Each structure stands twice: as C-alpha cells, then as structure tokens.
Structure 1
Amino acid sequence: MSVQTIAVLMASLVPVSFFLAALANEKQARWKLAERLSLMGLLVAVVLSIGVVSGWFSISEYHHWIGTSLASLVMLGLVSLIAFINIRFSSAYMAGNVEEEKRYLRWLLITLGSVATVVISNHMIIFMLAWVAISLSLHRLLLFFPHRQRAVLAAYKKAIFARAAEVFLFAAMLLLFLQHDTWFISEIYQNISQANELSTLDQVAAVFIALAALIKCAQLPLHGWLIQVVEAPTPVSALLHAGIINLGGYLLIAFAPLIMLSDAAQWLLLVVGGLTTVLAALVMMTRATVKVRLAWSTMSQMGLMMVECALGLFELALLHLVAHSFYKAYAFLNSGSEVETSMKRRMAPSKSPTLIDWTLATVFSAGLVFGLVWLADIEGPYSPWLLFALALILLIAERHGRLSASSLLSMVGLGAVLLAVYTLQKAGAGFIVPGMPASVGWLGDAWIALLFGLFMLVYILLRYHTERPALQKIRRAFYAGFYLDELVTRLNLRIYPTRLPVRQKPKKLQVAKEEFLQ
C-alpha cells in the first residue's frame, strides 16, 4: 500500500468516524466518544500536513476522491478543533434531557461529518452530496426548538436559499464536467491554471460558483435567516458562524483559477461582497443585542472574504477564514459574559476624539502601513492595506473612549505589532494557498478602496454626530437593515408559503376575589 493511499485513508477516516458515532447514540449521548473523535481528526490533519510539507507523498501527481492538499488539511484541522470545542460546550449546555441530548448530538455529528467531507473531497459529486447533507442536517439543528416562530421562519428561509445555492453549484459542476470530462477538482484546477482564457461553459460555471458562494455566506439581501437563527441553541449558532457559513469562501479557494479568469464572477463578488461588507458593519453599530451584533458582524466578515477572493488574495481569504472561525466560536460560546462587558462599555464615560487625535492617528497609521508597502515593495491590490490603515486610525484615535485609556505611544506600538503579525501571517498563508492576479485589475481595487473610504466617513457620522436630525433618520434606516429582510421574507411567503407554529398565549394569573386588598 502506497503512502499516498494511506494518507487518503487517514483523511477519509475523520468524516466516516463522525457518521458512525452518530449511529452510536441510540441509548445515550456519547459525548466523550465525540470529543475523542474530534481530537483524532485534529491529529490526522496535523500528521498529514507534516507529511505534505516534508514531501512524504505528492498532492499533484495523483487524483483520488479524497484530496490531501494543504488547504484541505488546514480546513480539516480547523473543523476538528471547532468540533471539539463545540462538543465540550454542548455536553454541559444540553445536559438534563436524555432524549434531547441524543437527538442533538446525532445531528451535530452528522453535520460535522458532512463538513469534513466537503473540505477533503476532491470529487465534485461527493462534494455536492456532502454540501447538501450539511444543509439538511443543520436544518434539524435549527429546528431543535420547533415551537419558536422565529426559529421556524429562519430555518424555512435558510432552506429556500440553501436549495438555490445547491442548484447553482450543481449546474456549475455539471458544466465543468461537460467542458473538462472529469469530476476531479484537482484536474479541473490544473486544466484552468494552464489556460489563458475561459470557454463559454467555464465562464457560466464561474458565475454560478460565485452565486453559490454569495448565497451560502448570507450576503445582502438574502441575509435575514442568519440574524434570526439566534433562536437556535447557542452552540448551534457558534457552529454555524464558525464552521459552516464560511464554506462559501472555501468553495472559491477550491476553484480559484476559474474565478480569476472570469471578470463577471469577480465583479459579482466585488459588488455584492463589497456592499455587504460596508453596510453590514454599519448596521452592526446600531444594534444592541449581542448575538444580533455578532450575526451582522459575520455577514460583514463573509463579504470581506468574498472581496479578498475576487481580488486574488486567496492566502488572505484562508487566513481570514481561520481567524474568523476561532473568533466567532469564542464570541458565541462566551456571549453570556459578553452582555456584561457590553453594558460596562456603554456605561463607561467616553471621550470623543478631537481633531488633533484624528490627525495624529492618520499620520501614524499611514506612516506605518504605507511605509511598509513602500519599503517592502509590495504589489497591489492595495485596498486591504487601506482597510488596515483605517482600522489603525480608529484604534489610535479612539484610545480615550475605552474602558481603560491608553497613551498615544502605546497605541502606535500596538499598531506596529499588529501590522508585523498580519504581514507575517499573510506571508505564511501564501505557502498554503498562493495568491493569483485578478483580471479586474486596478478598477476592482479602486472600487473596494472607495467603499472603505465611505465606510470610514459614515462610521464617524453615525458614531459622533447622531444629534443631527438627518443622521437620526439615517441611523433608523441602518437599524432596520434598510427593510431588505422584510421585503425578501414577504416575497418568500408569497411564492412558497408555509405554516408557522401557533404562539401559545401566556397563562393568566388567577387570583381569588377574596385575596384582593379591600
């Protein structure tokens, strides 16, 4: 048996073990078994990654149903680690009802096995089947409390959009098979990497893949279900935001050469993803509920990931995907204490930045970021560096508006450290997934830079000038999400109506007449 075959068997063992464990919950929920299997998946991903880097087996000379590329192994390790954290939290969160524990763990393991299958699959049919299985099993978790109206409505809309994404993805894969006469993703990747332009079928397939990724990542205006699924159990929300919704980004990474040769696909991602990035981040500012803020944050982050893929920054997209998964898993599982922190932050006295604060922050931030770009002779696109500079401006300028004020030098030092860490991590991710030149060129870069500039302007207005009547009206529009979800929901219910559970009336307190005070 060759080393390559052993690697394929080891990788396939991870999803298979999750599926088999789902069958072992007939009598009781086997939480410890699920934890050990997730740790085994992490160990397999680490061992196989070392094997690929060390050259023990090749990933380019063989085409198996299971892929062992570095990107797929990184995703496998990420899924396994998120699974371990989620299962440990869920074992305490769901304790108390044996039947509910068994039902929850069964569908959780099926969902995890399906996600693991997607990230290691090198065959488009297996990829597609696992993609559908994720939606179906996640649907059962979202309806874990079937009597909650908002939960049912969110799962209903999620199911509709998931079927639309699956139709686009299946059509794209069918077109790719007709064009390249193979179901293997690695072969299609190599064929398109060697081409200078795409055929008509490839062009249509690229647009369909972009549409599937946008729908999967809950981009505007098909975003409402992501906000309403907070009605599901907290670990389900954590799994959704940390390990499932970002599969749209992984889909674009898997078909990177195809996207980079299609202007239509790139502009679709730049326009929809760019607008979602900015608008969702601004809407998040107006919301008070912690989980709802996190949901809008996820939409914004997924939009930014779409933009990174459209600009050819696939190494940055992979880095973003991993970092976002860990952050959202922590944020949702720690949302209880986040409520207290958020209240302290609002009650703390804040000091608005002065003109001198903004000026110094701009000078130091621009000097750090664009000085590095100039000294290191970094080539475009430059809009991500602009976004980093804007983030540093806010970090430095608002140093007096936090729970603990910091000095200017300490914030500048922190900004320099963050810039160095970001640059090193981006370079390291480039060894796993290399970046590619985008065909949209400087126009796409300029479009995103314009959006980032507008975001900065509106952020300052909404944060520090809300006393003006015109801005109060704008703030209400942002708070309502521009009523996009309401319009989409009405359209969904008109085209494909459904019956929501009847909300039970609360019991009235019956007090005897003689107990009233005379």
Structure 2
Amino acid sequence: MLFSINSFKLVLLVLVALLALVIWRYSATALAGEVDKPRFMRALAATLAAVLFTLLSNHLLLFWLGWVGISLALQQLLLFYPERPRAQLAAHKKALSARLSETLLALAFALLYLQFDTASISQINLLLSSADAANPMLHSAAVLLVLVALLKCAQLPLHGWLIQVVEAPTPVSALLHAGIINLGGILLLLFAPLLDYSTIASALLLVAALVSTVLAALIMGTRISIKVRLAWSTVAQMGLMLVEIALGLYTLALLHLLAHSCYKAYAFLHSGNAVNHYLAAQLAGQTQPRARHWLLSLLLAAGLLGLTQQLLAFSSLSSAVLLLLAITVLLAPALMTADKRRIPRLLLALGYAIGLLALYFSLKTLLQPVMPTPHSISLAADLLSSVAFAGLFIVALLLRYQSHHKTMNKVFIWLNAGGYLDEWATRITLKIWPYSSRQLAEEQKLAALQELK
C-alpha cells in the first residue's frame, strides 16, 4: 500500500489538525492588512499538505518526496520578508541543511530498498526482526537516519538557522517550533525497529543529542530576547526527545513530542504578552531561592518520587532524574519567603506536583499501546544520561548564583556567545554555498542601470 494509517500516525494527524487550525486562524488575523497575505496563506497550506502527505506515506519514495516538499514550502514562509538580510541568511543556511538531510535520507532509503527489495515502510519494519545482526548495509542506513534526524531537529553545531528564523512572522515560528522541527523524532519513531537493530546508530544519537541538550539548555539561560530563548529551548527539547529515543523510551519520546508541540505553539503565539508578564514579576518583587531552599526542595521531591515508586515503577533512572529535577524547580519558589503563607504555598505546590505526576503516568499509560517501549534499556546509556542531567542542573545553578566568580563568568560569556559554534558553522556554510544579500544585489543592479542611463 502506498499510504497507511495506524494508531501512531492517527495521534500525529490529530496533533497536526489542531496546530493547523490554531495557526491558520492566528495567521488570518495577525497578517490582516499585509499586501502579500494570500501568498503567505498559500505557502502555509502547501506546508501543511506536505506534512500530511509525508505522515500518511507508506512508500519510501513518497515519504522522501513529501519530506522534500515540506522543506520547499517552508522556505517560502521563511522568506516572507525577503528584504530582511538576516531572514535571507537564515533561509539560506536552512536550505543547505535541508538539501544535506534530503540527500542522506535518499541514501538511507536506497540502502533499505536494496537490502529488502521492497519500498514498503511497514514491510521493511517487519523484515528487520529477522535480519542478520551484523549487516553493514542496515547499520549504515540506521546511521544515516540518525544524521538526518539530528539535522532536522537543528542539533548543535548546525542549529544557527533555527535561532535566526525568528525574523519570519510569528505564525511561521509557531509552525516550525511546534511541528516541522519534530519531524526528525517522528522519522526515528517510524523506523524504531531499525534503530533497535543498530546499537552503533543508537550510541551516536545518544552522544550527539545529549551534548546538544546540555549546551542548548545552558545557552538558553543566558539569553534575554523571548523568541530567542524559545528557539534555544526548542534545540534543547529536541535534543532531549532524541535522547529518549536513543535510550529506547519511545512512549516517553512520543509524550514529549506532543507536549512540546502544544507548549511551543502557545508560547510563540502568546509571546507578545511576555513583556507584560516580565513587568508584573518585577513589580511583585520576586526573589531568588537560596541554596537551602534548593536542598529542601530536592529532599521533598525525592521523598515524593520515592512514594510514587512504591505505586508506579519508573521506566528508567534517567526519566526519574528528570522528574526529580522538574519537581525540585517547582517546589523551590514556594519555600523562599519565610512568612505565614509558606505552608499553604508549599502544600499547593506539592498538590500541583502530584497532579503533574498523575497526568504524566496517565498519558504514558494511554500512549503505551501507540508507541511501545522496549523492555531492555542499556544501563550504561541510562547512567550516562542521568549524570548529564544532574550535571546540567548543577551548572545551571552555579551560573545563576555564582556568575560573578572569574571561572563562571568566563563560562557565562562563552555560553552567551553560543560557544561560537554558529559562527564556525556559518563560515563553512558560506564557503560551500556562497551567499549574497538579495537587497544588496538589487541595489547593485539599480546602480548599474542608472549608470547606463
């Protein structure tokens, strides 16, 4: 069959339909009065149609054509304001990254077709269960798919275009960060049997995504611009989702994908009110939790998770560590002010944490049949991820409270510059594919015409 639908695709189609409805209505209002609004709406419709075509495809060639179609349609949205040099540069870098990912995806699909003599994605996934464990062609295909996912999810160091496309209209940012950026994770979940087959590809994915997650999360904390912070947050969140996939936590990765999509759509479409929220926080005179508050919050979170473990087992150590740190961050603000309302605040925060845990386990249970998690998870990979998450939390606190120290100040400056990774990647990009501003080219053409006159 050229097209197919299953429970996993059905969940994704519902998500796409919800995002499409919200972003379409927002765009129709936000771009009212724009001369080129019809062009924007046509490009948006083409992008959404390409996404639906890709998700429904059960044929390697059709899937690849849909993948290319998404990039081409999105390119028109990124260049909605073609006179902006930064928008042109971001779209240029995105185009090069897209062409590279499309080439790698074509090579991976070619290897799969040559190995199994079929282009049916569902048939390939079934045949992988009986494939020889030492097949270099399949390992190569898995590694290529991992590279495609890393490129599509804008992982470091090829992340710069995602940070710079904030020059595009806000609906484009919402569509990109809430939907298109997830395609790398969706690709790996669709070919989960191939990833299970290749430990080499899983190890590569884990290391690359873990490094990207930690660095992007730390860099995000040094940013002031709301949309830029959200963009760095997307890089970190996509890295975390890829880490979950590398660990084999497919149910958690799907839940992460759905939650991130809904949150980022809301965050970008609601970003205009961020200044009001910031001013309200300043007027409220908020203070920062101290070391004892963080320690007490950590102990309370550990106790809560210990009680939860008696009722519901966690799927991995790393997922438990993430929940521990998240609940710690939730409880700390409730403890920092010593007044008569501290106990009610703490009880309210604990109730909120319990509610989030209940929601987490409920959604995981519902999604388990949709995207099952393999029973065996590598202990070494789980421990490495747990240590990385704990290290990220500690370094983030040091940057927050000890940035005046000489060493931490140097780290802060390096992170604030994005580790200079994008500058390095941009120089290489422009050497491979030279770029010149359209506006500059038009000005030079106009000047030449005037000289002829």
Give the TM-score normalised by structure 1. Answer: 0.81
Distance in 2 (alpha carbons) for counterparts of 1:356 and 1:408:
15
Q: Is the 8 A contact 2:3 2:56 kept in 1?
A: yes
Quick one: which amino acid aligns to residue 222 of structure 1?
L
Q: Which residue of 2 aligns with 1:85?
A: 22
Q: The residue matched to 2:334 in structure 1 has which SS?
A: coil
Q: The residue matched to 2:368 in structure 1 has which SS?
A: helix
Distance in 2 (alpha carbons) for counterparts of 1:165 and 1:269:
15
Gaps of 5+ in 2: 442-453
Note the 1:261-276 alignment, pairs <5 A: 261-276=197-212
Of 331, 337, 341, 2:277 maps to 341
Greater helix share, structure number = 2
1:412 aligns with 2:350: yes
Quick one: which amino acid aligns to residue 225 of structure 1?
W
1:166 aligns with 2:102: yes
Distance in 2 (alpha carbons) for counterparts of 1:481 and 1:345:
27
Q: Is the 8 A contact 2:250 2:373 kept in 1?
A: yes
Distance in 1 (alpha carbons) for counterparts of 2:244 and 2:40:
35
Q: Is the 8 A contact 2:290 2:336 kept in 1?
A: no
Of 355, 379, 384, 2:319 maps to 384
Quick one: which amino acid aligns to residue 397 of structure 1?
A
Q: Is the 8 A contact 1:349 1:401 kept in 2?
A: no
Give the TM-score normalised by structure 2. Answer: 0.92
Quick one: which amino acid aligns to residue 18 of structure 2?
L
Q: Is the 8 A contact 2:293 2:336 kept in 1?
A: no
Distance in 1 (alpha carbons) for counterparts of 2:321 and 2:404:
29
Q: Which residue of 2 aligns with 1:137?
A: 73
Q: Is the 8 A contact 1:143 1:155 kept in 2?
A: yes
Q: The residue matched to 1:349 in structure 2 has which SS?
A: coil
Tell me how many residue pairs correspond in the alignment: 437
Quick one: which amino acid aligns to residue 337 of structure 1?
N
Q: CA deviation at 1:196?
A: 6.9
Q: Which residue of 2 aligns with 1:436?
A: 374
Distance in 2 (alpha carbons) for counterparts of 1:382 and 1:78:
29
Distance in 1 (alpha carbons) for counterparts of 2:288 and 2:439:
48
Q: Which residue of 1 aligns with 2:387?
A: 450
Deviations 1:375-405 (A, max 9, x none): 4344x52101111101111111233569x98
Deviations 1:186-234 (A, max 9, x none): 0011111344725211111000001000100000000000000000111
Q: Quote the RMSD (CA, aligned, Å).
A: 1.9
Q: Which moved more, 1:153-162 or 1:67-76?
A: 67-76
Of 214, 217, 223, 1:278 maps to 214
Q: CA deviation at 1:356?
A: 3.5
* Identity, % of aligned positions: 46
Distance in 2 (alpha carbons) for counterparts of 1:418 and 1:159:
39
Q: Which residue of 2 aligns with 1:247?
A: 183
Q: Is the 8 A contact 2:244 2:252 kept in 1?
A: yes
Q: Which residue of 1 aligns with 2:333?
A: 398
Deviations 1:248-302 (A, max 9, x none): 1100100001101211111111111111111111111111101000000000110
Distance in 1 (alpha carbons) for counterparts of 2:129 and 2:280:
53
Higher relative contact order (CA 8 A, sep 6+): 2
The 1:370–1:181 alpha-carbon spacing in structure 2 relative to 1, beyond 3 Å, is: farther
Distance in 1 (alpha carbons) for counterparts of 2:165 and 2:125:
35
Distance in 2 (alpha carbons) for counterparts of 1:247 and 1:381:
25
Q: Which residue of 2 aligns with 1:16?
A: none
Gaps of 5+ in 1: 1-63, 505-518
Q: Is the 8 A contact 1:111 1:134 kept in 2?
A: yes
Q: Which residue of 1 aligns with 2:447?
A: none
Q: Which residue of 2 aligns with 1:426?
A: 364
Note the 1:202-351 alignment, pairs <5 A: 202-346=138-282, 348-351=284-287
